[in-house]
A and B are shown apart, each in its own frame.
Chain A
Amino acid sequence: MDDSLRELYQEVILDHSRHPRRFGALAGATHVGEGHNPLCGDKVKVYLDVGQDGRISDVRFEGRGCAISQASASLMSEMVAGRTVGEAEKLMDGFLHLVKGEGGSELNDEDREQLEVMGGVSAFPMRVKCATLAWHTMKSALEGGTSARTE
């Protein structure tokens, strides 16, 4: 198989997309965002519970989309739970750099190792927006907006 395809659709990605972690609505979420990719019609909804201390105690997502967008949303939800808002935003910056093939050097080793499974997206410029949808949605939720879109 084409190496870049194998890199894109590696087992971890397919596992996340088939069995998304933290999937579903979150009752009592403090922040909710809806993301929409008008090109393909994919939608994602991200729920966050942010405590007084600025820490994200819980994250959930709902939606439908391609393997890349689902896996990315699942991975993101898993990784940002327990972090502060500032840490989550920093993680997002690193992730965006990673999938755009612009490094992601601000990530620590452990985060980089976990996120690197999404790195294959950088070889597919048309698919970067699939990978970033959930993250932009999280950001807009944290900023108090309600909707994000990638196109």
Chain B
Amino acid sequence: MTAQTRIVKGFDLALARRDFAILGREVHGKPLVYLDNAASAQKPRPVIDAMAHFATSEYANVHRGVHFLSAVATGRYEAARETVRRFLHAAHADEIVFTKGGTEAINLVAYSFLEPRIQQGDEIVLTVMEHHSNIVPWHFLRERRGATFKWIDVSDDGALDLEELALAIGPRTRLVAVAHMSNVLGTVNPLKEIVRLAHARGVPVLADGCQGAVHETIDVRDLDIDFYALTGHKLYGPTGIGALYGKRALLKSMRPFNGGGEMIREVTRAEISYADPPARFEAGTPPIIEAVGLAAAISYLDGLDHEGLRAHEQALLEHARKELGALNWVRIIGDAPGKGPILSFEAEGMHAHDVATILDREGVAVRAGHHCAQPLMERFGVASTTRLSFGLYNTHEEVDRAVAALHKARKILG
């Protein structure tokens, strides 16, 4: 039995790979090895089929018409919301707001929740491992409202410094914004502990779950977290859809985000009143087909053996770490205990873009650059890194092909 066909605790890799037709294609005459999953994951057949079926035979606008298809489409859209609720273990479906992605979800919290509550000199606690999507919306509040930042550092292995975090939260802290999982280091942050520390001082917490939602089980009630943002396309779902979980009382207290149809209660010439959440935050026609696709992706993941899948992805990470760790010209960046299946590295004398170009010619797709995490690059003293990020369909042979391609890069550039 080869690794290609092996079954880890009920997770059947060969069977899962058959759901991703794109894995059968070639790139530059070589079989594709897709190791850029943290940027975006490929889409399984059931997701594509669900969207095609919905568009083919059930589509109409939602919440509007009295006609048959409008009712069917509304049912599907709201069922998708329920699927996301279940996925996050939220108490109520109205705590799930559909957005166009993780970025919009965080911008929504910045605009609708935090901006009216923040004054000159108030603080937002951030970590240096944040993606720009969890930095730039707060910079807007720095520019517009005079908010200040407290940056929490990581240790050399990429673990968050919780002591520093605890000390950083003070009387003027208005929010802690933290990645659930780093898109560069793979570090998984202890959300429950972070929430406990923040709530002890009355400070709400937002988690950027764009990576975390893919690999971790999330129970927003157990975490007691205030906001959790996720995106569909990294979760094997379509682009153009994401979700924001927010506690019901918080969402109810927030001003609208965009203005338009769907988000009002009543509009007169003189004034308006707003709909309750989640409609209040979903102005205009939402990404309906994409919501159906996101629900299909979550259902698809639900159908896989979670423990087996996790063990498989961890085995891939371990294999890559062992292979790259053995090379004295490679420096792995991020080695925190319990990290997710993301491996960034710097190769001596080789720029990440040159490495990625040579890997690409071998059919191996990786990400090279600053990964939209420039404060983190600065922390580790690098301009860019090469990143392998694993998905459910990757194999040990693919890791070997990436490593062989890296040796080739060394031969050309070293």
Residues from chain A with Cβ under 8 Å of B368 in the complex:
40
Contacts A2-B28, A9-B412 given; indicate if A127 touches B353 (C-beta within 8 A): yes
Q: Which residues of A in the span 1-59 have a Cβ within 8 Å of any Cβ on B?
A: 1-2, 4-5, 8-9, 14, 39-43
Total A-B pairs in contact (CB under 8 Å)? 51
B357 contacts A40, C-beta separation under 8 Å:
no
A43–B357 Cα distance when bound, in Å, is 19
How many Å from the CB of B197 to the closest CB on chain A? 32
Interface size on A, residues (CB 8 A): 21
Check: A65 CB closer than 8 A to any chain B CB: yes
Query: B-side binding surface: helix, strand, loop or mixed?
Result: helix
Query: A-side binding surface: helix, strand, loop or mixed?
Result: mixed
A41–B377 Cα distance when bound, in Å, is 10
- Which among A8, A40, A43, A130 has the highest number of chain B CB atoms within 10 Å? A40
- Which among B350, B361, B368, B374 has the highest number of chain A CB atoms within 10 Å? B361
Residues from chain B with Cβ under 8 Å of A40 in the complex:
352-353, 368-370, 383-384
Contacts A2-B28, A41-B383, A41-B384 given; indicate if A127 touches B361 (C-beta within 8 A): no
Residues from chain B with Cβ under 8 Å of A64 in the complex:
383
Residues from chain A with Cβ under 8 Å of B383 in the complex:
40-43, 64-65
Q: Which of A1, A9, A39, A43 contacts B369 (CB 8 A)?
A: A39
How many Å from the CB of B209 to the closest CB on chain A? 25
Check: B358 CB closer than 8 A to any chain A CB: yes
Check: B45 CB closer than 8 A to any chain A CB: no
In the assembled complex, 9 residue pairs joining A and B whose CB atoms fall closer than 8 Å, in A order, are A14-B413, A40-B384, A41-B369, A41-B377, A65-B351, A66-B351, A67-B354, A68-B354, A127-B357
Listed in ascending order, the chain B residues whose CB lies under 8 Å from chain A are 28, 350-354, 357-358, 361, 368-370, 374, 377, 383-384, 408, 412-413
- For the complex of A and B, the 8 pairs showing the least CB-CB separation, nearest first, are A66-B351, A66-B353, A41-B370, A40-B369, A67-B354, A41-B383, A66-B354, A2-B361
Listed in ascending order, the chain A residues whose CB lies under 8 Å from chain B are 1-2, 4-5, 8-9, 14, 39-43, 64-68, 124, 126-127, 130
Given A40-B353, A65-B383, A67-B350, 4 other A-B residues pairs in contact with their CB atoms under 8 A? A4-B361, A5-B357, A8-B357, A67-B354
